[in-house]
Amino acid sequence: MGAKSAYKGLVALAAAQTASAGLLDSGIFKFFDTVTRDVVIVGGGAAGSHAAIRLKEDHGKSVVLIEREDILGGHVDTYYDPKANGAVREYGVQCYFPYEDAMDFIDRFNLTVAPGLGPRGATTPKYVDFQSGKELNGYVPPDFGAQIGGIVEFYNVLTSKGYDKMVEPGFWNLPTGPNIPEDLLLPIGEFAKKYNVSTALPRMYESTGGGPASQQDDFLNIMTLTFLQSFSPSWMKVFFTDIGYYHIEGGNQQLYNKIAARLGNDVMTNTVVLMSERTSTGVTLLVSGLKGTKIIKAKKLLMAIPPTRENLVPFDLNAEETAIFAKPKYGRYGTALVSHPSLPKGTDLMNLPASAVADPWSPFLDLPHILSFSSYGNDTDLFSIGTSGNPYLLYGQLASTGVAQVALQKMALQGTIPALKGKLIEVVEWSDHGPGGFGVTAQDMRNGWMDKMYGLQGKRSTWYTGNAIAIDFSTTLWKMNDEVIKRMLASW
Ligand SMILES: Cc1cc2nc3c(=O)[nH]c(=O)nc-3n(C[C@H](O)[C@H](O)[C@H](O)COP(=O)(O)OP(=O)(O)OC[C@H]3O[C@@H](n4cnc5c(N)ncnc54)[C@H](O)[C@@H]3O)c2cc1C
């Protein structure tokens, strides 16, 4: 999404400094402008943007929202195609589905929601093994009805055992470590076998790219609890049409543009945190961005960024926090809009392992991979891709573009697509979708990692929300926020 912030280097600079209590109120720091608010929110994706509006408009709290990119929205990636009169091309968040009353949030911005995904022209699939570049002649997709039937059965297992209540919207009701049902700690492949719901997996895999959490391991090895973050019980209901799904007319980004407008000067985009001092009575942050370097003083801090070790460098972690955040292992997910003259307009090139011809029920790919080159229709040369790889720091735009380029070269060599004629893939926009999922092991969970993580809520005036510690969909995150905000207000 958008241009990347120019301030990443400053984070490293801040890391070199050791904050000590009161430092930000002394020395040269005291000459910076001070912004005073009830709550400072870091991260302007679905979670942080929603929280800012709810706190400000519904709970009368003064807020400031810090976002490192130049626009709000996080994983929302709407491209307005200049070659097609600004036509909307969604290549990140595609849709919103009802979770409790969460869709009401969109209503307050006077936007029109329409059923289905965002606009895309008609396309036909072509199944290709990107490893060899060969088209998979003879591949027949698994029976659609059996896949949906599997999702229904999967959902029934979760609800009959009460697992849905333990995971949505956040993990507040998850039993403590040793009491977490072992089912939820099984690898997803074993869980599906145990309950005879394996026919659900291909559709679940395809619709989420294996789930952002699959960057950590082979798909079938992902812990069920982690998998449910990106394929939640409420999202399952969409597949058997119990509930609908909707996009915002004019682009999903419209919501976040309206939020930014409503927040006005309470948003600081292109801004990062350089240092922090957090105590039980409030927080002080040193932030820097296009509007200059400022001190922010607030009673509460809401962290709405993925709590990766890289993101947490500027925060004055204590030993307890350091131990908790040292545990997760994460890969990286990215989406992009790409084009190349050899990519066939109107065709979706779907990546499958060669073995899928013999076993279409096992379409799972090794890492790193590009899941597909998905066309926006016959009248545009734009394609979207979703890509997973690890480790986190190495699998950024450069590495994933390399994987896409190699896939194109192999397809061209095999005659699956026309010759590339020396032309490289053009990345029109690339969007970092970060780690996704909390990324800890089943043993960490049994040892109480989630209890400790949720136990941090409110300590040192700091609260946590976002997709790393809850179900990873916009509407569920908004309900997760409502719970966090309720608890935050109770602690005032
Ligand atoms: C490919 C893909 C498609 C998806 N499609 C859908 C969908 O159709 N519908 C749906 O509901 N959900 C979808 N999701 C899930 C989606 O991730 C969540 O719904 C939601 O967008 C996550 O919101 P968040 O606020 O937790 O995180 P993010 O959206 O990642 O927001 C975090 C924000 O913090 C900012 N940030 C990060 N680090 C810093 C820092 N150090 N300082 C300041 N700011 C920082 C980021 O720039 C970002 O704006 C999809 C996810 C993926 C990966």
The answer to whether the CB of 270 is under 6 A from ligand 1 is no
The answer to whether the CB of 47 is under 6 A from ligand 1 is yes
Pocket of ligand 1, candidates 229, 305, 395: which has the most ligand atoms within 8 Å of its Cβ, to mutate?
305
Residue pointed to by tokens 């606009």 = 119
Q: What is the pLDDT of residues 127-142, one digit of tens each?
A: 999 999 999 999 999 9
Q: Is residue 107 part of a domain?
A: no
Do 43 and 175 lie in one domain? The reply is no
The answer to whether the CB of 214 is under 6 A from ligand 1 is no
Other CB atoms within a 10 A radius of the CB of residue 167 amount to 23
The answer to whether the CB of 42 is under 6 A from ligand 1 is yes
How many whole angstroms separate alpha carbon 274 and alpha carbon 294? 10
CATH number of domain containing 233: 1.10.405
- 414 CA → ligand 1 middle, Å: 37
How many whole angstroms separate alpha carbon 41 and alpha carbon 44? 8
How many whole angstroms separate alpha carbon 16 and alpha carbon 24? 15
Report the atom number in ligand 1 closest to the C-alpha of 97.
11
Segment 399-421 mean pLDDT = 98
The answer to whether the CB of 45 is under 6 A from ligand 1 is yes
**Nearest Cα to 262, choosing from 90, 50, 80, 39?**
50
H-only helix segments in 253-339: 253-263, 309-312, 319-325
Cβ atoms of 92 and 76 within 8 Å: the answer is yes
Say if residue 311's pLDDT is above 80: yes
Q: What is the pLDDT of residues 222-232, one digit of tens each?
A: 999 999 999 99
Predicted confidence band at 291 (pLDDT cuts at 50, 70, 90)? confident
The answer to whether the CB of 75 is under 6 A from ligand 1 is yes
Segment 318-324 mean pLDDT = 98
Q: What is the pLDDT of residues 368-386, one digit of tens each?
A: 999 999 999 999 999 999 9
* pLDDT recorded at residue 216: 66
Do 56 and 91 lie in one domain? The reply is no
- Pick the residue whose CA is nearest to atom 3 on ligand 1: 93
* pLDDT recorded at residue 26: 87
Q: What is the pLDDT of residues 419-455, one digit of tens each?
A: 999 999 999 999 999 887 788 999 999 999 999 999 9
Q: Is residue 341 part of a domain?
A: yes
Cβ atoms of 74 and 219 within 8 Å: the answer is no
Least confident of 7-16, 155-164, 195-204, 409-418: 7-16
- 346 CA → ligand 1 middle, Å: 28
Pocket of ligand 1, candidates 4, 10, 75: which has the most ligand atoms within 8 Å of its Cβ, to mutate?
75
Q: Return the higher-pLDDT residue of 3 and 35.
A: 35
* pLDDT recorded at residue 1: 43
Question: Given 239, 260, 282, which residue is the final one in a domain?
Answer: 239
- 357 CA → ligand 1 middle, Å: 35
* pLDDT recorded at residue 22: 84
Tokens representing residue 6 in the block: 């120019």
Question: Given 239, 268, 298, which residue is the final one in a domain?
Answer: 239
Q: Return the higher-pLDDT residue of 12 and 169.
A: 169
Distance of CA 324 to the CA centre of its chain: 21
- Pick the residue whose CA is nearest to atom 1 on ligand 1: 92
Do 208 and 181 lie in one domain? The reply is yes
* pLDDT recorded at residue 211: 61
Q: Is 211 left (phi over 0), alpha (psi -120 to 50) or beta?
A: left
- 338 CA → ligand 1 middle, Å: 20
Do 174 and 256 lie in one domain? The reply is no
- 392 CA → ligand 1 middle, Å: 16
* pLDDT recorded at residue 252: 98
* pLDDT recorded at residue 213: 58
Q: Is residue 457 part of a domain?
A: yes
Q: Is residue 131 part of a domain?
A: yes
* pLDDT recorded at residue 10: 43
Do 156 and 36 lie in one domain? The reply is no
Q: Which amino acid is at 338?
A: V
- Pick the residue whose CA is nearest to atom 23 on ligand 1: 46
Predicted confidence band at 16 (pLDDT cuts at 50, 70, 90)? very low
Mean of the per-residue pLDDT values for the chain?
Answer: 93
Pocket of ligand 1, candidates 40, 78, 88, 93: which has the most ligand atoms within 8 Å of its Cβ, to mutate?
93
* pLDDT recorded at residue 17: 46
Do 468 and 447 lie in one domain? The reply is yes
Q: What is the pLDDT of residues 210-264, one digit of tens each?
A: 665 566 678 899 999 999 999 999 999 999 999 999 999 999 999 999 999 999 9
Predicted confidence band at 396 (pLDDT cuts at 50, 70, 90)? very high
Least confident of 22-31, 191-200, 444-453, 475-484: 22-31
* pLDDT recorded at residue 348: 98
Distance set, CA 83 to CA 1, 79, 80, 88 (Å): 19, 11, 9, 11
Do 83 and 55 lie in one domain? The reply is no
Q: Is residue 106 part of a domain?
A: no
Q: How many domains does the chain have?
A: 3
Do 352 and 422 lie in one domain? The reply is yes
* pLDDT recorded at residue 5: 44
The answer to whether the CB of 92 is under 6 A from ligand 1 is yes
Q: Is residue 244 part of a domain?
A: no
Report the atom number in ligand 1 closest to the C-alpha of 95.
8
Cβ atoms of 237 and 152 within 8 Å: the answer is no
Do 25 and 172 lie in one domain? The reply is no
Segment 64-78 mean pLDDT = 97
Q: Is residue 391 part of a domain?
A: yes
Do 259 and 187 lie in one domain? The reply is no
Cα 124–129–134 angle (5° rounding)? 85
Question: Domain of 233?
Answer: 144-239
- Pick the residue whose CA is nearest to atom 6 on ligand 1: 93
Say if residue 351's pLDDT is above 50: yes
Say if residue 19's pLDDT is above 90: no
**Nearest Cα to 47, choosing from 473, 487, 490?**
473
Question: Given 204, 239, 274, which residue is the final one in a domain?
Answer: 239
Residue pointed to by tokens 């998998």 = 227
Report the atom number in ligand 1 closest to the C-alpha of 209.
1
Q: Return the higher-pLDDT residue of 367 and 70.
A: 70
Pocket of ligand 1, candidates 472, 476, 478: which has the most ligand atoms within 8 Å of its Cβ, to mutate?
472
CATH number of domain containing 313: 3.50.50.60
Do 457 and 325 lie in one domain? The reply is yes
The answer to whether the CB of 74 is under 6 A from ligand 1 is yes
- Pick the residue whose CA is nearest to atom 15 on ligand 1: 473
* pLDDT recorded at residue 20: 57
Say if residue 28's pLDDT is above 90: no
Do 28 and 66 lie in one domain? The reply is yes
Q: Is residue 51 part of a domain?
A: yes
* pLDDT recorded at residue 29: 86
The answer to whether the CB of 207 is under 6 A from ligand 1 is no
Distance set, CA 248 to CA 99, 107, 116, 126, 431 (Å): 16, 11, 10, 29, 20
Cα 319–320–321 angle (5° rounding)? 95
How many whole angstroms separate alpha carbon 364 and alpha carbon 371? 10
* pLDDT recorded at residue 179: 98
Segment 117-125 mean pLDDT = 93
How many whole angstroms separate alpha carbon 363 and alpha carbon 352? 6
Say if residue 6's pLDDT is above 50: no
How many whole angstroms separate alpha carbon 382 and alpha carbon 345? 8
- 212 CA → ligand 1 middle, Å: 11
The answer to whether the CB of 67 is under 6 A from ligand 1 is yes
Report the atom number in ligand 1 closest to the C-alpha of 335.
1
